[in-house]
Chain A
Amino acid sequence: MNEIADVLQCYDAIVNREKRVADSNTGHHVHIGAFTALYEEYMAYVFRYINYRVGSRTEAEDLTSLVFEKALAAFHRYDHRKSAPQTWLLTIARNTITDHLRKSSKRKTMPLDDAVGLASADPSPPEATETHEEYEKLQTCLAVLPQREQEIISLKFGGELNNRQIASVVGLSVNNVGTILFRAICKLRNCLKGWSNER
């Protein structure tokens, strides 16, 4: 109940603030409704993309928070005519992950423990395929791919961008994106097959 009260209080403060700013005729106020809609619509894509990149739910949550804080700070500069909101948010997410990887010098070598520990709390994967072991294998195979391939796979399956949008985010041609995507998927398949054969 307290949480709901807090949220309502926040909304009141925001609505008042918005009204105040709008009344001052600056025309530069943050469109709260628009940002909230953006958050509700695209937050899951950002989270899934980040989770593919870092493998750990905890890290993914931290980084997703950071992405939306950055997005909020830059929202007044966002121009929907230049890029779709999904592309804009995933570009911020991509840069955030690049910074994160550089600072932590972590190339997805340790998040599997985290994945094992938390997978049961995650309702999303279908039960038929959800096993911690298989998830671990997939993350391990994903982690050994070159960064660019990881990035494109994550933008495709996590961010659900089409190849043209991915091309604009990573600065490649659409044909190159298609080629890298196909190659990376085949590599993942071979990696998982190789794993099965070893067992």
Chain B
Amino acid sequence: MKDKSQKQFLEYLDRMMAGEPVTLGDDVPEEVRSALDQARLMLAYRREPTPEFRAALRNRLLQQLAEKPAAYQTEKPGFWERLDSVLPPKPVLVAVVSSVAVIFLLFVGVVLYAGRFGGGPSATMTAPSLPSGAELALQLPANIVPEGASFTANTGLSDAAGKAAIYKIDSTDITADSVTSLGHRLGFSGSAGLSDDGTRYIMTQGTGDNEKQLTVWIASGAVEYGYNSPDKLYPVFQVQLPSQSQAETIAYNFLQQSDLLPSEYHNLAKVSQDTTVAGVGYSIISGGVAATPMPTVPQPTTTPSPIPPPSAAEEAPSPQSLPAPSAPSVEQPATVPTPSVPAPVPGSTRPAHGPSYWLVEFPNYIDGSEATGPGSNIEVSVGTNGEVVKMAWSWRPVSQLGTDNIISTRQAFEDLTQGKGSIEVPVDCKQVVVDSVQLKYWLGPPSEEQEYAVPVYEFTGNCLDKNGNTIESFTGWTPALSDAY
């Protein structure tokens, strides 16, 4: 119900913002009407810049351009600019120096050619093909830390800088046909249609609480699937969940049958080893108990019925083969809320103990490091009676471009303390305690096209209040490349 109201509100709001006349029908609930009234108020109270300020700032900017033009050129002079400054002014000398330069370039070319086709790969060849620092720049989330908060590293930091691989994200060819084909594998009928200014394809199936939606983002190829009603994730009745290992198997089967299972996970034992299963719906803690790989493929008690048998993989994205991830981890239900999932619906009659669904996460490893960010993994939510009630699939295929220098963990920590990264902590946070620093690869929101996968340092830890009590945990990031700033 809340979802429907939200959808209605957003649709009317878009029309209102576009200046279209908005007439609300009788079916519009009071909640939506009230929210739209508030939106009108927001627009009415918007304050415009005064003409005086507008003109004054324009003049000031133009003045700055006139007085300091050099400052607004490229920070580093280009090749021709540098050559221009090197060349002597006289025409004869110009000709001589140019000839020498041409001969030198020819010589370098011959040496490189010989190195490439005769003497094996040369380290000097990968560097020029890498994009510039600006092209590799990351768009990380906000950096919000209250003034006066101190930073403490509760983990070892190294002064050693190093190198890390840079990856190009391969473009995905998302078409109405490919999405329709995926939809059919997931039990949808009909054809996919474009939505939201042509940014995603959508298919829907069913009505009321049983309405499902499939979304595929054109920018990234990311897939979202699930019921529109939150009651499927947070039911108001006693849930009958499968065991954790059964949930893993159900998630595995679901992905395999829809041709969305990355090649790294084609072995179910690998799924047991690498996926993380967490009970969600009330509270969990990290248990860190390693799972025992299953020797055989157990069948789930209830398999997702609407999924047809697997079809040819012609429409499926093709994930890259990745190195073996590190230690396995399976989380046990416990007592710290997961930040990534919504809180339980207040007032529900669901029992106070036990999760309402299992969240099975398939991490994505790039160059042996786990990917991080809002578009970095696959999450399958297995609900009551073993039904897959939701899936968020984001798995960008990558190709290695080369390697680049990265800063040390100590430097990264200092960058974090100086606000050069991304971290958001509560206003009453007085001490940010970093418990771990890991090199990972940043993959942004599914709605965004991303050209490169570059390394970041991921910081995790806890925020303490003025009395030293833990308020909440945090995750923060800083760019890892040396020339990121």
Residues of A that sit less than 8 Å from B by CB: 3, 6-7, 9-11, 13-14, 17, 21, 24-30, 32, 35-36, 39-40, 43-44, 47-48, 51-52, 57, 60-61, 64-65, 68-69, 72-73, 75-77, 91, 94-95, 98-99, 101-105, 107, 121-126, 129-130, 134-135, 138, 147-148, 151, 153, 156-158, 160, 162-164, 167-175, 178-179, 181-182, 185-186, 188-189, 192
A172–B325 alpha-carbon span in the complex (Å) = 27
A26–B142 alpha-carbon span in the complex (Å) = 36
The 8 closest A-B pairs by CB, nearest first: A171-B141, A105-B147, A124-B48, A13-B66, A47-B49, A10-B62, A189-B38, A157-B42
A91–B224 alpha-carbon span in the complex (Å) = 27
Q: Is the CB of A167 within 8 A of B57?
A: no
A40–B58 alpha-carbon span in the complex (Å) = 9
Which of B5, B31, B58, B60 has the most chain A CB atoms inside 10 A of its CB? B58
A64–B17 alpha-carbon span in the complex (Å) = 23
Q: Is the CB of B49 within 8 A of A168?
A: no
Q: Is the CB of B39 within 8 A of A10?
A: no
Q: Would you give the shortest CB distance from A75 to chain B, in whole angstroms?
A: 7
Given the known inter-chain contacts A30-B65, A98-B143, A170-B141, please indicate yes or no for A43 contacting B57, CB distance below 8 A: yes
Contacts of B35 in A (CB 8 A): 182, 185-186, 189
A49–B171 alpha-carbon span in the complex (Å) = 34
The binding surface of chain A is classed by DSSP as helix
A28–B373 alpha-carbon span in the complex (Å) = 34
Q: Is the CB of B140 within 8 A of A171?
A: yes
Q: Which residue of B lies closest to A135 (CB)?
A: B45
Q: Is the CB of B142 within 8 A of A94?
A: yes
Residues of B that sit less than 8 Å from A by CB: 5-7, 9-10, 13-14, 17, 31, 34-35, 37-39, 41-50, 53-55, 57-66, 69, 71-74, 77-78, 80-81, 84, 134, 139-148, 196-197, 199, 224, 373-374, 419, 422, 424, 427, 444-448
Contacts of A7 in B (CB 8 A): 59, 62
Given the known inter-chain contacts A171-B140, A172-B141, please indicate yes or no for A185 contacting B9, CB distance below 8 A: yes
Q: Is the CB of A125 within 8 A of B47?
A: yes
23 example contacts (A-B, Cβ-Cβ < 8 A) are as follows: A3-B55, A7-B59, A10-B63, A24-B81, A26-B80, A44-B54, A47-B53, A64-B57, A68-B57, A69-B64, A73-B72, A94-B142, A99-B419, A102-B144, A107-B427, A125-B44, A134-B45, A148-B142, A153-B42, A157-B42, A173-B445, A173-B447, A175-B224
Contacts of B37 in A (CB 8 A): 189
Q: Would you give the shortest CB distance from B66 to chain A, in whole angstroms?
A: 4
Given the known inter-chain contacts A17-B69, A26-B80, A124-B46, please indicate yes or no for A3 contacting B59, CB distance below 8 A: yes
Q: Would you give the shortest CB distance from A77 to chain B, in whole angstroms?
A: 5
Query: Assuming A102-B419, A138-B45, A186-B31, what are 5 further A-B pairs, CB within 8 angstroms?
Result: A10-B66, A24-B84, A122-B47, A153-B42, A185-B38
A7–B141 alpha-carbon span in the complex (Å) = 39
Q: Is the CB of A124 within 8 A of B196?
A: no
Q: Is the CB of B447 within 8 A of A167?
A: yes
Contacts of B13 in A (CB 8 A): 156, 181
A39–B61 alpha-carbon span in the complex (Å) = 10
Q: Is the CB of A30 within 8 A of B139?
A: no
Q: Would you give the shortest CB distance from B11 to chain A, in whole angstroms?
A: 10
Given the known inter-chain contacts A30-B72, A172-B445, please indicate yes or no for A124 contacting B47, CB distance below 8 A: yes
Given the known inter-chain contacts A10-B66, A188-B38, please indicate yes or no for A172 contacting B47, CB distance below 8 A: no
A188–B37 alpha-carbon span in the complex (Å) = 11
Q: Would you give the shortest CB distance from B396 to chain A, in whole angstroms?
A: 15
A7–B62 alpha-carbon span in the complex (Å) = 8
Contacts of B63 in A (CB 8 A): 6, 10
Q: Is the CB of A61 within 8 A of B49?
A: yes
A35–B58 alpha-carbon span in the complex (Å) = 10
Q: Which residue of A lies closest to B133 (CB)?
A: A77
Contacts of A21 in B (CB 8 A): 69, 73
Given the known inter-chain contacts A72-B61, A168-B448, please indicate yes or no for A178 contacting B142, CB distance below 8 A: no
Q: Which residue of A lies closest to B477 (CB)?
A: A171
Given the known inter-chain contacts A153-B42, A162-B197, A171-B140, please indicate yes or no for A122 contacting B50, CB distance below 8 A: yes
Contacts of A32 in B (CB 8 A): 65
Q: Which residue of B lies closest to A188 (CB)?
A: B38
Contacts of B373 in A (CB 8 A): 171
Which of B46, B58, B374 has the most chain A CB atoms inside 10 A of its CB? B46
